[in-house]
Amino acid sequence: MMLSEKQMIGMYENIADKFAGKVEELCTMDARLGDGDLGITMKKGFAVVPGIIAESTETDLGKKLMKAGMKMASAVPSTMGTLMSSGIMSGGKKLVGKNRMGSEELTEYLLGFAEGIIKRGKCQEGDRTVLDSVGPAARSAQALLHDHPGATLVEVILTAYDAAITGMEATRNMVPKFGKAAVHRDACAGNRDQGALAGAYMIEGMKEYILREAHV
């Protein structure tokens, strides 16, 4: 199974819908240690992506995603908006020359997404950020394809999602190094990082769409 351009639009619409339903939860979490606008940022940011992919005259999927990331960066110029849009742009670079997304392309996209966060956020796994869900997702997808080159798109996204959830839950025991959370470390103890949760929701949105299209 490979996702066509039309299906890629559908997948990002599903991600946008996912965040539209998580606004209150993410804002409430963010209000404890951040600016309280994470849910709004994610809803607004991902809402622009499907339209940019659809409207672009490019036939290259990677270039479409890079443009979508740039547009998202302008729409939500906050810390998380910048990290997520950088992820989309960096992931898009990995797919230049492609016009469909299969298991290999999804893996490359997730690896590029994680690289974009690392480069822009100057962070690493264990710092209690969005990378702690996206990073494990990318690496687990890569490991699966390495061990099983014929793994399907469904198998890859399920593996990535499981790793994202595990990584997100692991943030409960991590010490934050950035933002207000780093100042109020005690308040973070035992709680999930809201950025890592947002990353997990993004991958969940991808998973739901892919499973639906594959009739699983």
pLDDT tens digits, residue range 133-143?
Answer: 999 999 999 99
Side-chain-side CA neighbours of 173 within 13 Å: the count stands at: 4
pLDDT at 180: 57
pLDDT at 33: 73
In DSSP terms, 3 is beta-bridged to: 101
Domain ranges of the chain: 5-213
Q: What is the pLDDT of residues 4-33, one digit of tens each?
A: 999 999 999 999 999 999 999 999 998 887
Please give the mean pLDDT across all residues of the chain. Answer: 94
Distances, alpha carbon 67 to alpha carbons 5, 42, 137, 167, 202, in Å: 14, 17, 24, 29, 19
Given a cut of 90, whether residue 163 has pLDDT beyond it is: yes
Give the residue among 107, 132, 104, 103 at the shortest CA–CA distance from 117. 132
Q: What is the pLDDT of residues 79-132, one digit of tens each?
A: 999 999 999 999 999 999 999 999 999 999 999 999 999 999 999 999 999 999
Mean pLDDT value across residues 173-196: 74
Measured from the Cβ of residue 6, the count of other Cβ atoms closer than 10 Å reads 10
Range 5-213 has CATH code 3.40.640.10: no
